[in-house]
Structure 1
Amino acid sequence: MTNSLVPPAGPQRVLALAQLANSVGDGAFYVTSALYFTHVVGLDPARVGLGLTLAWGVGSLAGVPLGRLADRRGPRGTAVLLALATGLAVASFLVVRGFWPFVAAAVVYATAQSGLAAARQALLAGLVPAGERTGLLAHLQSTLNAGLAVGAGLGGLALHAGTKAAYLGVFALDAVSFLLCAGVLLRLPAVTPSGVVKGPVKGAAAGLGVLRDRPYVVVAALNTVLLLRMPLLSLGLPLWIAERTAAPTWVVSALFVLNTGAVMAFQVRMARGVRGLATAVRAVRRSGWVMLGACAVFALSAQGSAGVAVGVLVVGSVLLVVAEMGQSAGSWQVSFDLAPAERVGEYQGFFGTGVTVARTAGPLVLTTLLVGWGPVGWLVLGAATVAASYAMGPATRAAARRASGRGANGVACAR
């Protein structure tokens, strides 16, 4: 696995270009959307939060059937259509001015985004050998962070201008970025649909689909617990710094830049040693201990002067990003290796709902633990992470045994 920040030429580089195309627009969207919906559309902030929660709730449920569609109809065509749908949903935000039109547009946006993520994973699985997937996902994560950083800078210019035209320009940029993403994805070779299983379908391939694969469901649930770290930089740490430490609030921005830059520079290297289920489980377990260390350090930042608090927060943030990169690499490998070869889109669609659940439930959990419980809350969060990371071992082994059974029955083959 190369240390280069640029993936090898061919499908891997094209997938990275597609990732870069829409992540720039997304970065601009993320930093401006809240003010756009409140200041330009004129919605109450509480209603914006409610609408987005409803939208992402629907989107998380849509990930599995849209992933299944990618398996059965072909992931490239499905991904292109969903990228176009996402772009059209963003464009519709330019004209909506009421709550329910906003909710409808947000539902389409969240649904298309969730389905696009699943279809892209199925496309990646069809184009990239199993041994190279985690490395490519590390490249894509680095590319994502680079694009988000550029987009956030452009969004910052719009925020500085503060005009309606500037906000509309950002949303138009995001819409165009998804159209560019669709065009880039068309440059990839088509992948033959593999989700049609001949003969009688049994077990996990019937009825509720992936939900009947209970070991995989357990693995996905444990990964969701580990993903509770995701709202830390955007919500948990800002509230902690403002409410519980003497550090200045500008440190929030510095820690975000630190996190983004570290992922861009080191995610590929961190993923280099993850080659199979055993190494993936070890990576997740190590990341759990590092996350516990980060939580303990963050808890200490409540003590001391502003200078001391800033130094402690920087150390905690370094540990946090190391834990994040290790956990990401391990979970990518696990999610692919435990999925049936012909149903990667469906399984990835389900595994990806953990991100939505973490982003939806995470704010409430983190607010309660960190702001409400203080330093003890940090230790509880760290302990929960260690417990989930250690439980991943037996859960993964159980899922691997089930995958081997599917292979023996001719329904699916474990990788």
Structure 2
Amino acid sequence: MKPPRVLALAQLMNSIGDGAYYVTSALYFARTVGLTPAQIGFGLTLGWVVGSVVGVPLGNLADRRGARGTAVLLALATAIAVASFLFVRSFPLFAVAAVLYASCQCGLLAARQALLAGLVEQVRRTEVRAFLQSTTNAGLAVGAALGGLALQSDTREAYLAIFVMDAVSFLTAALVLSRLPVVAPAKAKPGEPRLAVLHDRPYAVVTMINAVMLFYMPLISLVIPLWIVQQTQAPTWTVSALLVLNTLSVVAFQVRVARRVRGLRSASRVVRHAGLVMFSACAVFALSAIGSSAWTAGLILLAAAGLQVLGEMMLASGAWEISFELAPADKQGQYQGFFGTGQAIARMLGPLVLTTLLLGWGAPGWLLLGVLFAAAGIAMGPAVRWAERTRAQSDRPAAVSPQ
């Protein structure tokens, strides 16, 4: 089996477990463990804060010790982290388990990206990454359906079975990843810093711009459902309809969208267009509160969600290309680990910012968010060109001093 298919199979295995975990974990921690919503939120936030920090050195470990071995070990460690939730009976233990889980997940993402960069030729990386993303969404959908069965049962045993299934899914992913070819570790160059990405200011700016645009993530999972219920006349089942539309669209069209990206110029252009599409989506979402009938509001929401998922797929395709192309070949792990902090930032800050902006301000808040998306998309091009210039200067041979 070719490496992209092996990577996709591993991604499918653990995304099924993750889908079930995401659907059921909050209720398990609240009803079975007895944690308060504030404790759950703080523990998960703490986990992703620590995970975003340790993802960079774990990515560097993949560069220096081998991406395949590191990915296998982190998949095994994630399985242990998930299994540890079975023994959580207090908030301190929950916080420790959450930190372990998020740290392993962030490191595993970086190691997998390094594996992809080492096993797939440069011109196909973004397309293969899109294939993996569509596979992930398919697995999440299947897992969410299985999690729904546990929610319907609403018993301690059903929730525990989901955690066991998630742990087994990561064990299976580790086994699948071990079948990949070995990616030779890169040797550190004399005199260079261990974590060179922390000294790369242009790459940091690119990462932060991407983090701003990733605020669409809590938009889908948290804010839009609340907006539909509190601010529109649309029926409550519209929440499920929009989530299904998003998932199926990524599964069906992400690879096609990614094929439009060939190099940094096209990637910057696609990200700029993604920002404008997201602006349009926000404007249409704002209109959904005006509709006086359920059908009108529902149709407006479907149109807005269609624009949103198109912008999401365009952003992902451009961002993947940029993150790979701007990373040195021998430092893909640590660079991908750093780029992945954008997701952690969106998960940490997005819920607070977006609920305040959209549920508090209404239509003006939607328009302001749209302007933010558009501005970030436009800013990506200059930031990428700055990064390109710094790399061209560093690659330029030093002048020989006269004797």
Same fold (TM over 0.5): yes
Residue 75 of structure 2 corresponds to 83
Partners of 1:199 and 1:65 in 2: CA distance: 18
| 1:63 shift after superposition | 0.7
Residue 49 of structure 1 corresponds to 41
Residue 375 of structure 1 corresponds to 363
Match of 1:151 among 119, 143, 146: 143
Partners of 1:409 and 1:16 in 2: CA distance: 40
3-state secondary structure, aligned to 1:273 = coil
Match of 1:198 among 189, 198, 218: 189
Aligned length: 397
| 1:303 shift after superposition | 0.7
Q: Do structure 1's residue 319 and structure 2's residue 307 form an aligned pair?
A: yes
Residue 176 of structure 1 corresponds to 168
| 1:41 shift after superposition | 1.1
| 1:409 shift after superposition | 5.3
Instruction: Answer yes or no: is the 8 Å Cα contact 1:93–1:105 preserved in 2.
Output: yes
Residue 4 of structure 1 corresponds to none
Match of 1:292 among 270, 275, 279: 279
Partners of 1:359 and 1:338 in 2: CA distance: 24
Residue 126 of structure 1 corresponds to 118
Residue 34 of structure 1 corresponds to 26
Partners of 1:219 and 1:94 in 2: CA distance: 39
The Cα offsets for residues 275-319 of structure 1, whole Å up to 9 and x where unpaired, read as 100110111011111111100100000012111100000000000
Instruction: Answer yes or no: is the 8 Å Cα contact 1:340–1:403 preserved in 2.
Output: no
| 1:405 shift after superposition | 2.5
3-state secondary structure, aligned to 1:100 = helix
| 1:359 shift after superposition | 0.9
| 1:402 shift after superposition | 1.4
Residue 390 of structure 2 corresponds to 402
Identity, % of aligned positions: 62
RMSD: 1.1
| 1:208 shift after superposition | 5.4
Matches within 5 A, 1:4-403: 9-194=1-186, 196-201=187-192, 206=193, 209-304=196-291, 305-403=293-391
| 1:209 shift after superposition | 2.5
Partners of 1:169 and 1:199 in 2: CA distance: 50
Which consecutive aligned stretches of 4+ in structure 1 deviate over 6 angstroms post-superposition? none
| 1:404 shift after superposition | 2.1
3-state secondary structure, aligned to 1:192 = coil
3-state secondary structure, aligned to 1:233 = helix
TM-score scaled by length of structure 1 = 0.94
Partners of 1:80 and 1:403 in 2: CA distance: 32
Instruction: Answer yes or no: is the 8 Å Cα contact 1:219–1:396 preserved in 2.
Output: yes
Deviates more, 1:248-257 or 1:176-185: 248-257
| 1:344 shift after superposition | 0.5
Partners of 2:194 and 2:8 in 1: CA distance: 35
CA, structure 1 residues 409+74, in 2 after alignment: closer, same or farther (shift >3 Å)? farther
Instruction: Answer yes or no: is the 8 Å Cα contact 1:267–1:325 preserved in 2.
Output: yes
3-state secondary structure, aligned to 1:307 = helix
3-state secondary structure, aligned to 2:235 = coil
Partners of 2:190 and 2:13 in 1: CA distance: 41
| 1:408 shift after superposition | 2.9
Residue 6 of structure 1 corresponds to none
- Structure 1: gaps (5+ residues): 1-8, 411-415
Instruction: Answer yes or no: is the 8 Å Cα contact 1:339–1:403 preserved in 2.
Output: no
3-state secondary structure, aligned to 1:248 = coil
Partners of 1:405 and 1:346 in 2: CA distance: 21
- Structure 2: gaps (5+ residues): 399-403
| 1:240 shift after superposition | 1.0
Partners of 1:303 and 1:295 in 2: CA distance: 14
| 1:207 shift after superposition | 6.3
The Cα offsets for residues 262-283 of structure 1, whole Å up to 9 and x where unpaired, read as 0000000011110100110111
| 1:43 shift after superposition | 1.1
The Cα offsets for residues 330-362 of structure 1, whole Å up to 9 and x where unpaired, read as 000000000011000000000000001001100
| 1:407 shift after superposition | 2.7
Instruction: Answer yes or no: is the 8 Å Cα contact 2:286–2:363 preserved in 1.
Output: yes
CA, structure 1 residues 280+248, in 2 after alignment: closer, same or farther (shift >3 Å)? same
* Letter matched to residue 139 of structure 2: G
3-state secondary structure, aligned to 1:94 = helix
Partners of 2:276 and 2:190 in 1: CA distance: 46
Partners of 2:244 and 2:232 in 1: CA distance: 20
CA, structure 1 residues 299+88, in 2 after alignment: closer, same or farther (shift >3 Å)? same
